Amino acid sequence: MSRDAFARTRRGTRRRPLRTALAAAWLLLAPVACTPLYLPPVPDRLPPLEERLRLRDVRIDRLDQDRPALVLVPREVPTPGWMAVLWYPPTGAAVAEDSVWLDEDRVGHAVRVPFPDHVARDRSGRWRAVLTFDGRVLRQVEWQEPAGP
């Protein structure tokens, strides 16, 4: 073996431990760079949750003549009031509005809001019902509606 080849081989072996050490250091330090540097402390007393209307079950059912109806079950009603239901076609603004009085007596019982008779369901597509209570949007329910009468 020539002297140059031997020197190249020795140089390569010297660099290999250095490369291995640098790769190992990078593998150890890279995950640390991804961890957050600050974890906020959890307060001793958490602020109380705001009381609001909570619904347990919201769905669209079919009534007579295949007419849709919104069915919901209130879980909590902290203050009695009117819940508005806005009916939207697949495109455009609301075509109808209805409201239902909710109080403690309605908790746990199904409340049914039928689709208005005076609104034609002549457009097929995804219809929506938006529920609001006390100026806040509670839920939006969508369903597929075929073009009908």
Return d(Cα 108, Cα 73) in angstroms, integer. Answer: 6
Give the domain extent around 119.
54-145
Residue 36 is predicted with a pLDDT of 67
Per-residue DSSP letter, 123: S
| Count of positions (residues) in the chain | 149
Q: Number of folded domains in the chain?
A: 2
In a domain? residue 115: yes
60 shares a domain with 8? no
126 shares a domain with 71? yes
Alpha helices in the chain (DSSP H): 3-34
74 shares a domain with 35? no
Return d(Cα 129, Cα 80) in angstroms, integer. Answer: 21
Residue 2 is predicted with a pLDDT of 60
DSSP reduced 3-state for 147: coil
Query: In the structure encoding, which two tokens stand for residue 9, read together?
Result: 């081989």
Residues of the chain with pLDDT under 70: 1-15, 31-37, 148-149
Give per-residue pLDDT as tens, 93-135.
889 999 999 999 999 999 999 988 888 877 788 999 999 998 8
Residue 84 is predicted with a pLDDT of 94
Residue 21 is predicted with a pLDDT of 85
Residue 37 is predicted with a pLDDT of 67
Which string of b and e fits 68-101 if b means at least 16 CB within 10 Å? bebbbebeebeeeeebbbbbbbeeeeebeeeebe
58 shares a domain with 26? no
Residue 29 is predicted with a pLDDT of 73
